[in-house]
Structure 1
Amino acid sequence: MNSSVIKAVPVLLLSLLASRTVAAEENVFTVGGGVAVGSRYSGSDERMVAPVLQLDYAMANGLFASTMRGLGYGGSAGPLKYSVALGVRGSRSESDERGVAGKTGSKYLKGMGDIKTSATANFGLSYAIFERVEVSARAELPVSQRDNGASFGIGITGQLYQTPSDSVSLSLGANFADSKYAKTYYGVNATQSKNSGYREFTPKSGLYGVDAGLSWTHTFQAKWSLTGMAGVSSLNGDASKSPLTRKKTAPTAAIYVSRSF
């Protein structure tokens, strides 16, 4: 999974990006590219622009390999859809750096140390409770760098408008953290406090954020499509009280074009 996208776009918008590619009746390869705008890190008041790279190979038997969805398997049984995949959670740098994805990290994290990239096992379930309304649940469990912790989420997506060429959807989501995840991304331990100057802070597990996103996809020339998304993410609970949180609510956006073969 593209870690530069993960850095710039929160969970809900990333899920919307990934959901553009669905199970196919035959093998389908999709190529896409664009840009995403979001916070440099969760709680930052600085923006960053990152590339969106979509390389997605979906097989008719449910297996897939994707820069957005990871490497895994997805299927359905009536209104129920499910997936399991191996993905990547991006890193967080304590320094203000410029790379191929633009500026990353922040001077406001100096002394906090770097959070390393981790491989994750990603599980997803969704159920269509009505024709155009779907509820979902997800779990992201670290396989490497296990001290980074696990995150979970629930959401609901409604299709507001649908034609053969256009689709507009609205999604709402809530995100939860275990104690390790909360401490890794929002906590400040004794060593970090000494090095950074921030006060010590030990957040608890539980709800840490909510998201809302609006997406629009326009299909043209059969296999070409243009997708635009806009959303907002807001930190809640202990995450919003963290010394690292400089802005609780932040806008996000993405736009990309794709072609299926």
Structure 2
Amino acid sequence: MQASCAAQVAFIETGDTARSTTDPDHVMNNKFRLFTLAALLAGSAAQAEDDANVLTLGGGIAGGPRYSGAAERVIGPALAIDYQMANGFYASTLRGIGHGRQLGPVNASVALGYRGERSERDRDGLGGARGSTALRGMGDVKGSATVMLQGAYEIVDGLELSAAAELPLSHRANGRTLSLGLTGTLFERATDQVTLALSANVGDRDYVRTYYGVDTAQAARSGYRQFTPKAGLYEVELGMTWRHQLDERWSVTTMLGLTALTRDAARSPLARKDTAPTGAVFVAYRF
């Protein structure tokens, strides 16, 4: 079940995203923070289904690009609150508000979330960066309320295939995303679990034009050349997570990852770096 939760949540793009809760990658790695939080909350979610309601608090340090394609890197604090009910309902600062169920080898959930804004100014907060002066003239991308649909299938013990879709309810012109991923458990024992996850992220025309495109007006204001990307694969992610259980309530999670822009996203004039390392260390306490 731990691997299942990690796989299921790792591929949501809900923050700016980031890449949020999700991000996609518009806030400093909402997506990346989801990946990390999923790992540290997985044990809690599993226990909640079998046992009782579980509240988990997490905090730590996270680092990644200032926005998707940014050359600048930022490091800052990250906090998370997650309440998982035994009946499958949950409320989380990163997972959103939703319901999930395990049906044999299949894990599925639906949630309401929020994709954060992307600013044309350097804006930093507790959740990470929300923009950069490198985007000056591009205008702000408004945040969106979203529906997140997620599913994971356990192919064999320790190996899962997952899919997630993020559909905006507000500011629908920001576009939709679909992510496909594979998560494998490399090592597991009573107190430790190491997982490796690979995901491919696809955006529709509105999404890639919103976050990687430059229209005529933006080109005139920003100095970037006009660029009209096509829908399709825009990003691939690879991440490794190590979760260490200190006792029945305390755990520490370390994550290292790499995000690579592909195709038109990598060719965008906004993409000053098409690959970006990410990392985090989280401590979690389960009530």
TM-score by length of 1: 0.95
Shift, 1:223, TM fit? 1.0
- In structure 2, do the counterparts of structure 1 residues 185 and 103 end up closer, same or farther at CA, with 3 Å as the change threshold? closer
Shift of 1:11: 3.2
CA contact (8 A) 1:188 1:202 kept: yes
Match of 1:9 among 21, 29, 38: 29
**Counterpart secondary structure, 2:147:** strand
Per-residue CA deviation, residues 47-84 of structure 1 (Å, 9 max, x unaligned), is 11233212111111100000121000000110100010
Offset at residue 38 of structure 1 (A)? 0.7
Partner of 2:65: 39
Whole-angstrom CA distance in 1 between matches of 2:200 and 2:124 = 31
Separation in 2 of the partners of 1:96 and 1:72? 32
Q: 1:118 aligns with which of 144, 147, 171?
A: 144
Distance 1:102 1:65, change over 3 A: closer
State the 1:260 CA deviation. Answer: 0.7
Task: Report the AA paired with residue 72 of structure 1.
Answer: G
Distance in 1 of aligned mates of 2:151 and 2:59: 27
Q: Which amino acid aligns with 1:58?
A: Q
Distance change (3 Å), C-alpha of 1:199 and 1:117: same
Whether the aligned pair in 2 keeps the contact of 1:13 and 1:231 (CA below 8 Å) is no
Q: What is the CA-CA distance between 1:222 and the residue it aligns to?
A: 1.2
Aligned pair 1:18/2:11, yes or no?
Answer: no
* 103 and 137 in structure 1: CA distance in 2 versus 1, 3 angstrom threshold: closer
Mean alpha-carbon deviation: is it higher for 71-80 or for 3-12?
3-12
SS state of the match for residue 123, structure 1? strand
Alpha-carbon offset, residue 102 of structure 1: 5.8
Residue type of the partner of 1:235?
A: L
| Deviation (angstroms), 1:101 | 4.8
- 1:206 aligned onto 2:232: yes
Question: Contact between 2:57 and 2:286, CA under 8 Å: does it hold in 1?
Answer: yes
Question: In 2, Cα distance between the equivalents of 1:10 and 1:64?
Answer: 18
Name the CA distance, whole Å, in 1 between partners of 2:158 and 2:212.
Answer: 36
1:220-235 alignment, distance < 5 Å: 220-235=246-261
Q: How many pairs were matched up?
A: 261
Structure 1 counterpart of 2:88, from 42, 45, 62:
62
In the alignment, residue 38 of structure 2 is paired with which amino acid?
Answer: A
Runs of 5+ consecutive residues of structure 2 not aligned to the other structure:
1-13
Alpha carbons 1:13, 1:229 under 8 Å: kept: no
Equivalent in the alignment of 2:180: 154
- Equivalent-residue separation in structure 2 for 1:128 and 1:71 (angstroms): 24
Q: 1:35/1:192 Cα in 2 relative to 1: closer, same or farther (>3 Å)? A: same
- Please give the secondary structure, in 2, of the residue aligned with 1:221: coil
2:194 matched residue in structure 1: 168
Question: Could you say if the C-alpha distance between residues 145 and 121 of structure 1 is closer, same or farther in structure 2, counting changes exceeding 3 Å?
Answer: same
Please state which structure has a larger fraction of its residues in strand. 1
Segment of structure 1 superposing worse, 89-98 or 210-219: 89-98
Query: Are 1:73 and 2:93 matched, yes or no?
Result: no
What amino acid sits opposite 2:195 in the alignment? S
**Matched residue SS, 1:140:** strand
Q: State how far apart, in whole Å, the 2-side matches of 1:78 and 1:101 are.
A: 35
Moved more, 127-136 or 3-12: 3-12
Change (3 A) 1:79 1:101: closer
Counterpart AA for 1:174: A
State the superposition RMSD in angstroms: 1.7
Instruction: Determine which of 273, 278, 284 is the counterpart of 1:247.
Output: 273
**For residues 36 and 81 of structure 2, what CA distance do their matches in structure 1 show?**
16
The residue type paired with residue 111 of structure 1 is: G
Partner of 2:206: 180
CA distance in 1, matches of 2:160, 2:282: 24
Unaligned runs of 5+ in 1: none
The code of the aligned residue for 1:217 comes to R
